[in-house]
Amino acid sequence: MKKYRVFSLANEIGISTTELIKYLKELGIEVKGNLSTIDEENANIVKDLVLKDKESRTKREKEVKGNIKIVEICKHLNISFKFLIPYILKWGLVRENINEEIPFPVAARICNSFKKPITDILPPLPKNYKTRPPIVTVMGHIDHGKTTLLDSIRKTNIALREKGGITQKIGASEIEFEGKKIIFIDTPGHEAFTEMRIRGSFVTDIVILVVAADEGAKEQTIEALNHAKAANVPIIVAVNKIDKEGADPDKVRQQMANYNLLPEEWGGETIFVNTSAKTGIGINELLENIILISEIEELSKSDEKRPGGTVIEAKLDPRVGPTANLILQAGELKCGDWIMVGETYGKVRMLTTANQKQVKEVEATAPVEIIGLKDTPLPGEILIGYKSEGQIKEKIEKLEMAKKEKKQEKPISLDDLFEKLEEEKKLNLVLKTDTYGSLEAIKSVINSLDTGDIKIEFVHTGVGSINESDILLATASNAIILGFNTKENPMVKKIPERSRVKVFLFDLIYELQEWVVRFVKGMVKPEFVENTIGRAEVKQVFDIGGLGLVAGSIVREGKIVRDANAKVFRGSKLIGEGKVSSLKRFKDDVKEVLEGYECGIRVEGVKEINEGDIIEVYELKEKGS
Ligand code: GDP
C-alpha cells in the first residue's frame, strides 16, 4: 500500500501541514510531524473530508457575495427557466433572462422547496425583504365543504369591509386575521390550480385540503393531494364537517397517513385541523396554522419596484374589454403603466382592489383587477411591467423571431420520452385501473420490476376512467398514463394539452408488466402510420431536362406540402414514390398549395408520370399520437 508523508499530502491537497494535522487528529489518526507517514486508505479519507469542507466554504463565500445566476439554479434543479420564473416571482422578483441574478438566500429557499438544497444552513434573507401575506388555495373532493369553508372564513374576516362589503369577486380575496393578511384564491378545486401550473406559473403558497370527516378521503381528495405534492406546496388538512354525526376524524388521519401525510400529533409533519365550515369550529385554528406555515416558510418579498404578477382569471367584459384578475406579487403597479401579460399587452387604465375600490396604485402582494389589455390573457400567465410601449414592442418582436426559429411544439413522441428517461433516470406514471384489487396488484408488480437504474414513480394512481385531472397532472409532471381495463373519459378530448400526453391502455397484467420493462429498456419502438394530407390530379407533364419531371396538377383534396412524402397512383396502381422536392405556384416556390388551386409538383425519384395520375401526399404519424 502506498504511503504518504504529511507534508507531501498537504501539498497535494493544497492546505498547510498544521491544518492537515488538525484534520488527522479529528479522524483519530495520530502523527508526530511533517515527515510522519500515513497509509493510502487514511490519506483518501482525509482528502475527501478536506474537499467537502472546501466545497462548503466556497458555497459560504458565495452566500457572502450575495447573488447567484439563475442559470446555476436551473442547472441545480434540472428545470427550465420558464418553470422557475413563478418560483422567483413569489419572492417579489421580476427576472426575464437566465443570466440575471437573484440573492443566494432566496435561491437556497427555492431549492429547499424542491427538496434539493444547495446549502446546509439557510443564510438569512437580505434586509430589503419583508414578510408578505400567504396565498392559499382550497382543494378537495366535491361536496366536502370547500365553498362553505371559504365563505365562512371570508364572512368573519374580510380585511377592509367598505361600501357594503363584497359585491363582485375579483378572483381572490384578502382577509385579515390577528392583524395579518391572508389571500385566498376564490375558485376552489384543482382544475384551476393545475391549469395554472401547466402554463408554467404558480402562485399558491399553501394548499388547504378539505376532507369531510363523515366520508373520508375520496378520489378527488387524492387527486388534489397529488397536485399539491407535485407543485411542492405545503398542505394543511382541514378535517371538515366535524359537527356531523358519524364524523370520524381519526379515520381521515389514518387514510391521509397512508398517502405520506403523517399528522404532526403522530410524529409527522402535516398539520391537521378539525373544522366545521358550518358552525365555525376550528376556523381560527386553521387560520393560525396558515400564519404559522407562512412564518416557517419565511414568505417574504423584495422591495424591488418592477411590477410582476400572475393571472388568476380573465374575461372579456362587453363594456370595458379584457379584464384580468391577478395577484400582484412584485413591485408596484400604477394606472398608466405599460404591462405585458403572456402574449398580450396594454396600458393600465383601471385598477380595482379586492374590496372593490378603484385605486391609482397597488403594491404587492395583493389581488387586483386590471383593465387596459388589448386581449384577454390566460390563467397562469405572468404580468411584467415595462418602461414604455416601445420596450414592449421590442420584446414582442424578439419573441416572434424566437418563435419562428423554434419549430412548432409537437406532440411528445416516444423518442422524446426515451431521451427524458435517459437524462433523468426516472419514469413518472399515472396509473388508472378498473378496480382497487387490480390497482394494488399492478402497483406491486411494477414496484417489484427490475428496471435497472431507472426509478419508477407514481405521480397518481386511481380507479376509474382516465379523466381530465389525470391528463392535467400527467402534463404538469411529465408523466405517461397507463390504463388497465379502463378507457379514456370522452371529456379528456376537450383539453388542448391532451396531445402532449401519452396514454397507453392494457387489458392483461403481464402485457402491462412486459411493456414497462421493455419501455425502460428503450425497447418500445414507435409505430408509424401514414396520414394522407392531400391529393392532386396531374393535368400536364413537363420534362425539364436534367431536373426531371414536373407534374402540372390541380389539388383535389386537402393540400400538397413541399418536402412531404408522396405516392403516385395510376388508378389503384402505385407507380412510384418519393418526397415532394419542389412545389411551385406559377413561377414561385411555395410551401403548400390548397384544394382547388393549380401547382407544379416534382416528386423526387419518380421517372414516369402521366396525365390523369393522382399524387397523394402523406405524413408519418406516431401511432396513438
Ligand atoms: P364543495 O363542493 O367542496 O365546495 O362543498 P360545499 O361547500 O358546497 O358543501 C357541500 C355541502 O356540505 C353543503 O350542503 C354544505 O352546507 C355542507 N357542509 C359544508 N361544510 C359543512 C360542515 O362543516 N358541516 C356540515 N354539517 N355541513 C357542511
Structure confidence at residue 602 (pLDDT): 93
- What fold does the segment set 131-301 form as a domain? Rossmann fold (3.40.50)
| Cα 54 from Cα 66, distance rounded (Å) | 18
CB 93 within 8 A of CB 128: no
Where do the H-state alpha helices sit in 215-307?
219-230, 249-257, 283-296
- The helix/strand/coil state of 224 is helix
Query: With 0-12 CB in 10 A as exposed, 13-18 as middle and 19+ as buried, what is 235?
Result: buried
Atom index in ligand 1 nearest the CA of residue 188 equals 4
| Cα 40 from Cα 184, distance rounded (Å) | 61
**Is residue 316 predicted with pLDDT exceeding 60?**
yes
Q: What is the mean pLDDT of residues 389-409?
A: 79
Crossing angle between the packed helical segments 70-77 and 104-113, to the nearest 10 degrees = 20
Residue 597: CB atoms within 10 A of its CB come to: 15
pLDDT band at residue 485 under the 50/70/90 scheme: confident
**Is residue 241 predicted with pLDDT exceeding 90?**
yes
Structure confidence at residue 201 (pLDDT): 61
Pick the CATH number of 414-526 from 3.40.50.10050, 1.20.58.110, 3.40.50.300, 3.20.20.100: 3.40.50.10050
Distance 100 CA to ligand 1 centre (A): 47
Question: In 3D, which of 526, 560, 530, 499 has the Cα closest to residue 620?
Answer: 530
Q: Which residues contact residue 121 at a Cβ distance below 8 angstroms, ignoring those fewer than 6 apart?
A: none
**Is the CB of 148 within 6 Å of ligand 1?**
yes
- The helix/strand/coil state of 403 is helix
pLDDT band at residue 331 under the 50/70/90 scheme: very high
Which has more confidence, 289 or 466? 289
Set of cell numbers at residue 170: 375579483
Q: Which residues contact residue 89 at a Cβ distance below 8 angstroms, ignoring those fewer than 6 apart?
A: 308, 309, 310, 329, 330, 382
**Is residue 280 predicted with pLDDT exceeding 80?**
yes
**Is the CB of 189 within 6 Å of ligand 1?**
no
Atom index in ligand 1 nearest the CA of residue 277 equals 23
CATH class of the domain comprising 529-622:
mainly beta
pLDDT band at residue 625 under the 50/70/90 scheme: very low
Which has more confidence, 78 or 592? 592
| Cα 181 from Cα 185, distance rounded (Å) | 13
pLDDT band at residue 186 under the 50/70/90 scheme: confident
Q: Which residues pair with 112 in a beta bridge?
A: none
| Cα 470 from Cα 298, distance rounded (Å) | 32
**Is residue 1 predicted with pLDDT exceeding 80?**
no
Mutate to test the pocket of ligand 1, among 143, 245, 248, 275 (most ligand atoms within 8 A of CB): 143
Set of cell numbers at residue 42: 487514511
Q: Using CA positions, which residue lies closest to atom 17 of ligand 1?
A: 145
Whether omega for the bond prior to residue 352 falls within 30 degrees of 0, making it cis, is: no
pTM, 2 dp: 0.67
Q: What percentage of the chain carries pLDDT values higher than 70?
A: 89
Q: Using CA positions, which residue lies closest to atom 9 of ligand 1?
A: 145
| Cα 574 from Cα 567, distance rounded (Å) | 7
Q: Residue 473's Cα: distance from chain center in Å?
A: 9
Q: Residue 475's Cα: distance from chain center in Å?
A: 8
Structure confidence at residue 507 (pLDDT): 85
Q: Which residues contact residue 497 at a Cβ distance below 8 angstroms, ignoring those fewer than 6 apart?
A: 198, 471, 472, 475
Mutate to test the pocket of ligand 1, among 142, 147, 148, 286 (most ligand atoms within 8 A of CB): 148
Average pLDDT of the chain to the nearest whole number: 86
CATH class of the domain comprising 308-405:
mainly beta
In this structure, are strands 271-274 and 300-302 parallel, antiparallel, or unpaired?
unpaired
Amino acid at 102: I
**Is the CB of 562 within 6 Å of ligand 1?**
no
CB-based burial, 32-44: b 16+ in 10 Å, e otherwise: eeeebebeeebbe
**Is residue 164 predicted with pLDDT exceeding 50?**
no
**Is residue 358 predicted with pLDDT exceeding 70?**
yes
- Longest CA pairwise span in the chain (Å): 100
Q: What is the mean pLDDT of residues 58-85?
A: 80
DSSP state letters, 142-192: TTSSHHHHHHHHHHHHBSS--TTS-SS--SEEEEEETTEEEEEESS-SHHH
pLDDT band at residue 494 under the 50/70/90 scheme: low
Distance 513 CA to ligand 1 centre (A): 42
Structure confidence at residue 27 (pLDDT): 84
pLDDT band at residue 220 under the 50/70/90 scheme: confident
**Is the CB of 214 within 6 Å of ligand 1?**
no
Question: In 3D, which of 525, 522, 521 has the Cα closest to residue 450?
Answer: 521
**Is residue 496 predicted with pLDDT exceeding 80?**
no
Structure confidence at residue 282 (pLDDT): 96
As a CATH number, domain 64-127 is 1.10.10
Q: Does domain 3-62 have CATH number 1.10.150.130?
A: no
Q: What is the mean pLDDT of residues 593-617?
A: 92
| Cα 180 from Cα 59, distance rounded (Å) | 35
- The helix/strand/coil state of 576 is strand
CB 618 within 8 A of CB 524: no
Distance 228 CA to ligand 1 centre (A): 22
Query: With 0-12 CB in 10 A as exposed, 13-18 as middle and 19+ as buried, what is 100?
Result: middle
Highest mean pLDDT range out of 11-25, 244-258, 466-480? 244-258
Digit-coded pLDDT (tens) for 406-443? 555 555 667 777 777 777 788 889 999 888 888 888 88
Set of cell numbers at residue 563: 418536402
Domains 131-301 and 308-405 in one fold: no
Question: In 3D, which of 397, 466, 475 has the Cα closest to residue 431?
Answer: 466
Where do the H-state alpha helices sit in 231-323?
249-257, 283-296
**Is residue 167 predicted with pLDDT exceeding 60?**
no
**Is the CB of 143 within 6 Å of ligand 1?**
yes
Structure confidence at residue 103 (pLDDT): 95
pLDDT band at residue 490 under the 50/70/90 scheme: low
Residue with grid cell 417579489, as numbered in its chain: 92
**Is residue 157 predicted with pLDDT exceeding 70?**
no
pLDDT band at residue 304 under the 50/70/90 scheme: very high
Which has more confidence, 526 or 225? 225
Structure confidence at residue 108 (pLDDT): 93
**Is residue 49 predicted with pLDDT exceeding 60?**
yes
**Is residue 166 predicted with pLDDT exceeding 60?**
no
Question: In 3D, which of 181, 187, 139 has the Cα closest to residue 158?
Answer: 181
Structure confidence at residue 437 (pLDDT): 81
Distance 278 CA to ligand 1 centre (A): 7
Q: Where are the domains of the chain?
A: 3-62, 64-127, 131-301, 308-405, 414-526, 529-622
pLDDT band at residue 165 under the 50/70/90 scheme: very low
Q: Using CA positions, which residue lies closest to atom 24 of ligand 1?
A: 241
